[in-house]
Amino acid sequence: MFKAYGDFWRRYFTFTGRSTRSQFWWAFFWNALIGVILILIQVGLKILRGAAVGDHLSFSGNQVVIFFWMFSGWYLVTLIPRWAVTVRRLRDAGLPWGLVFLKLLTGIGHLVLLVLACLPSKDDD
């Protein structure tokens, strides 16, 4: 589990080779978990601020900006390794790496890639 996530970071710019299903899904899990934690921190801070001030839990401009930079920073730091692990996973499933550009089709493209990531590894014969 932690080895797979460490591999995700060690192979930051590696678009060659392969990544197994478990390597892909552990990286996906940890990145999603960290994203959810960032959101929960933002909501938690807002609840604490709202309870202290007595307002109706509306987000102030400063909180939105801080959250934007926090979440955007995490997104940008993980952007290249997420693309790299997806390319490696597609190769491992015997699919053309160019399918990674489905990510550009927000929503449906990501869903298609997640389904393709579930395919078993293909042996080189």
| CB distance 102 to 114 below 8 Å | no
CA distances from 79 to 43, 56, 121 (A): 24, 35, 24
In one letter, which amino acid is 96? P
pTM (predicted TM-score): 0.80
Nearest to 23 by CA among 43, 8, 33: 8
- The C-alpha atoms of residue 56 and residue 71 are separated, in whole angstroms, by 24
Q: How many CB atoms lie within 10 A of CB 51?
A: 10
Q: What is the mean pLDDT of the segment spanning 99-112?
A: 91
Instruction: Please state, in angstroms and rounded to a whole number, the distance separating the CA atoms of residues 101 and 85.
Output: 13
| Nearest-angstrom CA–CA distance, 63 and 55 | 14
Confidence at 40, pLDDT banded by 50, 70, 90: confident
Helix ranges (H only) for the chain are 2-10, 21-53, 61-92, 108-116
Instruction: Give the pLDDT mean for 96-120.
Output: 92
Percent of the chain with pLDDT over 70: 85
